[in-house]
Amino acid sequence: MLFNSLDLTIVAIYCIGIIGLATYVSRQSSGHERSAEDYFLAGRSLPWWAIGASLIAANISAEQIIGMSGQGFVVGMAIATYELTAAIALIVMAKFFLPLFLEKKIYTMPQFLEQRFDKRVSLVLSFFWLAVYIFINLTSVLWLGSLAINALTGIDLFHGLVLLAGLSLAYSLWGGLKAVALTDIIQVVLLIFGGLSVSYIALTTIGDGELLAGLTVLINEVPDKFDMILSPENPAYNNLPGVWVLIGGLWIAHFAYWGFNQYITQRALGAKSLPEAQKGVMFAAYLKLLMPLVIVLPGICAAVLYPTLEKSDQAYPTMMALLPHGLLGLTFAALIAAIVSSLASMTNSISTIFTMDIYRSFAKTEASQRKLINIGRNVAFISLTIAVFCAQPLLGSLESAFQYIQEFTGFFTPGILVIFLVALFWKKATTMSVLIAAATSLTLSIFIWYAFPDYPFIHRMGVVFLVSGLLCYLTALLQGYVDQEKAIDLNGINFKTSKGFNYSTVIIIGMLAIIYGYLW
């Protein structure tokens, strides 16, 4: 066990403190009965800083910190494309998607599809998201988090799964989204501080006490790991196919994830206003530019210090072992913070989708607000329990859980993006046309994956997106090609953004141009 009593004390203070703070911010004023909107959307009262921090805390978890750091060990800085280009996707989401969603005052993404199409589309997407969140997202976060706990403390993997699930439920089950979002600013500060601390200690270790000397040694010893665009000769080219990461299928994954993923958009849906939501999303876009230093650089350092690691996902936990006591405990608390925050975000979204979209669709009578909240809490508990028992069978034998997530979520994301884009911006899209797009996305993705296993999944997503979109168009054409009654009237939507938002967009695009221009 790497920890001493100081480390354990710091971790214990964090766990007790986050539960206490979540309980405090979730308290209700005297005489006020909590509603479903209070529980699932924080009463639509979230400020910008909570939205931005919560977006990052929901996104950056074990599969990012450990999985992406592991890919940094194998591939290098090129894997940071997922983080850097996500800033652009966030900006697009804030400017073009959020105004429509907030105008509709929805709880969930499936609810929006029911308003635009019908209940069939809503239920198909609801069941799909429940399956993905439980069997891909929750399991991967729990498994990678448990691996880190095992590497640093020696705690058995299964007990680590149970501990993480229990801590997540302890601070989020009572307060819902408000408890999660208003504590995420602490989680994000810990996350960034912990990651930067690991990077700093690793570089000074490589450079014999000098930060810049360590960076110089790193660049000289593994120069190929600082290529942002991989050549076809690179063994990782199939996962990150050169310039296509900037102009190809990765954008499909980005827009589907950041624009239409329930546990991401739910934070913005809980905003007190559209400008507040947009400021929060822009805050998250700036934080995204820091992430390569926080989660990828430690993996590159591990390639120099520990080049013979058996599994790439061991890179980040191994690097944490370099930290002095006290800082080790604080950084471990940061890792736990990232894990439990994402778990809480996912389970809150699972409970919201099940309660508001599935349960209410099949319930014969209108449920009370108290009953809806209780159902949501029970579903959160059940979903985490399922994930705890499924994590090791699904992920235990994989080399990289991060690539597992990208590969298999890529079966669905092209169809999801087609569905939402036509729902938002094409009046002639019909219910049948989007169901055809969803079915095409899954079946064609599986066919290409099975028949052409070496075909880059980023290319696969691009092909599937185009074919799904084409079949969506042809179906609408065969059904009469007329404006649908439930189509959205875009003339009544205000897409204008503030000067600060526009200036920040220019700054972020400029910074990305410099990064890619320098590291091409």
Query: Taking the model in full, what pTM does it have?
Result: 0.89
Q: What sign has the CA pseudo-torsion 276, 278, 281, 285? A: negative
Supply φ then ψ for residue 233, to 5 degrees.
-75, -15
Spell 456-480 as b/e; 16+ CB within 10 A means b. Answer: bbbbbbbbbbebbbebbbebbeeee
pLDDT digits (tens, 9 = 90+) for 383-437: 999 999 998 888 776 665 666 676 777 888 999 999 999 999 999 999 999 999 9
Angle at CA of residue 488, ends 486 and 492, nearest 5°? 135
Could you read off the pLDDT of 117-154 as tens digits, one per residue? 999 999 988 998 898 889 888 988 898 888 878 877 88
Question: Which secondary structure element, helix H or strand E, spans residue 271, and what is its range?
Answer: none
Give the pLDDT of the chain (520 residues) as one tens digit per residue.
578 889 889 989 988 888 888 888 777 665 556 777 888 887 788 899 999 998 998 888 766 788 789 889 999 999 999 999 999 999 999 999 999 998 888 888 999 999 999 999 999 889 988 988 898 889 888 988 888 788 778 889 999 999 999 988 887 777 777 877 878 888 888 888 888 999 999 999 999 989 999 999 999 999 999 989 988 888 888 888 888 989 888 899 999 999 998 888 888 888 989 999 999 999 999 999 999 999 999 999 999 999 988 888 788 888 888 889 998 888 888 888 888 888 888 898 899 999 989 998 888 788 888 898 899 999 999 999 999 999 888 877 666 566 667 677 788 899 999 999 999 999 999 999 999 999 999 999 999 999 998 888 889 999 999 999 999 999 999 999 999 999 998 888 888 999 999 999 999 999 999 998 887 7
- Tokens (6 digits) for 137: 């997202």
Q: Minimal CA–CA distance to 327: which of 141, 202, 146, 188?
A: 202
User: What is the rounded distance in angstroms from the CA atom of residue 229 to the CA atom of residue 518?
Assistant: 11
Q: What is the pLDDT of residues 442-474, one digit of tens each?
A: 999 999 999 998 888 889 999 999 999 999 999
> Rounded to an integer, what distance in angstroms lies between the CA atom of residue 386 and that of residue 139?
9
List pLDDT tens digits, range 287-313: 999 999 999 999 999 999 999 888 887
Domains of the chain in sequence order = 16-21+36-401+496-519 (1.20.1730.10), 410-488 (no CATH)
pLDDT of residue 106: 86
In this predicted structure, what is the pLDDT of residue 30? Answer: 59
Output the pLDDT for position 344: 86
Q: What is the pLDDT of residue 403?
A: 62
Query: Is the Cβ–Cβ distance between 107 and 41 less than 8 Å?
Result: yes
pLDDT at 401: 60
**What pLDDT is stored for residue 380 in this prediction?**
92
At residue 508's C-alpha, the angle toward residues 502 and 514, to 5°, is 140
